[in-house]
Amino acid sequence: MWKTILAMMILLLLVLPGCNKMNEVIVVSPQSVSVGDYFDVDIVVKPSGRVAGVQANLCYDAEVVEAVLVTSGDFMGSNMFFKPGVIDNTNGVVKDYAGVTIGKGSSVNEEGTFITIRFVAKGTGGVGFILDKVILGSPTAKSLPVDIVNGELEISVPKIDGIFTQEEHHSLAAILSDYGFGFNYSFGLFNGKEIIFNTLYLNVDALRTKILAEVEKWQ
């Protein structure tokens, strides 16, 4: 009888939510940036138990973003041996970064950032950050099961003051010219799109004429 009750209790504990919580390694990135922006992507570890080591690669589209710097995070604190890896912008991967706790049997069980990767946005569109070859080690040097959560963001063209398309330029020029304003401009290309670089100036005589004409209407 007691053996049956004990077995049922063990089974109940195994199926209760949270009892089989898995270790997680998560990519945390901004949702959106503009071309030319620098931004950080974190690889965050959420352990369900004791962890003594971690290793991970991060893959990305090297035509859209470029990795420029990798720094160790706070996951293992100062009690960690950190092994620097390689930034490979040719193949789009940050690889072979690893860390282990120092001291026999030492480990951590609090959530933290393993590494932070600084990127610069070079192109437009969506880009994914895909974890690869992720390993979490136990204090007894055994591999731990882990769930992976990848990241993504959207890169857009930055809004630049003083730059208009041809359609915007002609529309704006037509309105302002009646009030003595004009443009000195030159044509060019920005991100494959034809644009006009504008310098706004004021024609005082034309403005005076416009004001006098409006005054005469009211006389």
* Last-in-domain residue among 156, 183, 209: 156
Is the domain of 176 the same as that of 140? no
Q: What is residue 68's three-state secondary structure?
A: strand
Distance of alpha carbon 106 from alpha carbon 97, whole angstroms: 20
pLDDT at 56 over 80: yes
Is the domain of 148 the same as that of 183? no
25 is in which domain, residue-wise? 21-156
Is the domain of 138 the same as that of 170? no
Is the domain of 172 the same as that of 71? no
Is the domain of 78 the same as that of 49? yes
**What is the pTM assigned to this prediction?**
0.65
**If we measure between CA atoms, which residue out of 163, 192, 206, 157 comes closest to residue 172?**
163
Q: Tens digit of pLDDT for each residue in 151-187?
A: 999 998 776 555 455 555 555 555 555 555 555 544 4
Q: Tens digit of pLDDT for each residue in 31-40?
A: 999 888 999 9
Could you tell me the CATH number of the domain that includes residue 143? Answer: 2.60.40.680
* Predicted local confidence at residue 169, as pLDDT: 54
Q: Supply angle C-alpha 112, 113, 117, rounded to 5.
A: 175
Distance of alpha carbon 219 from alpha carbon 216, whole angstroms: 5
Q: Tens digit of pLDDT for each residue in 58-106?
A: 999 999 999 999 999 999 887 789 999 999 999 999 999 999 998 877 8
Is the domain of 32 the same as that of 129? yes
Residue 8 or residue 24, greater confidence: 24
Is the domain of 142 the same as that of 58? yes
Is the domain of 146 the same as that of 171? no
* Last-in-domain residue among 123, 141, 156: 156
Range of weakest confidence among 9-23, 103-117, 156-170: 9-23
Residue 12 or residue 34, greater confidence: 34
**Do residues 26 and 112 touch, judged by C-beta distance below 8 A?**
no
What number is the average pLDDT over the span 26-45? 94
**Do residues 70 and 97 touch, judged by C-beta distance below 8 A?**
yes
Q: And the tokens for 151?
A: 């990241």
pLDDT at 10 over 50: no
**Do residues 111 and 45 touch, judged by C-beta distance below 8 A?**
yes
Widest pairwise Cα distance in the chain = 109
Query: How many domains does the chain divide into?
Result: 2
Distance of alpha carbon 137 from alpha carbon 107, whole angstroms: 9
Report residue 70: phi and psi, to 5°: -130, 130
* Last-in-domain residue among 111, 139, 156: 156
Q: Say if 207 falls within a structural domain.
A: yes
Q: Say if 110 falls within a structural domain.
A: yes
Share of the chain above pLDDT 90, in %: 50
Is the domain of 180 the same as that of 209? yes
Q: Say if 8 falls within a structural domain.
A: no
Is the domain of 170 the same as that of 81? no
Distance of alpha carbon 74 from alpha carbon 185, whole angstroms: 52
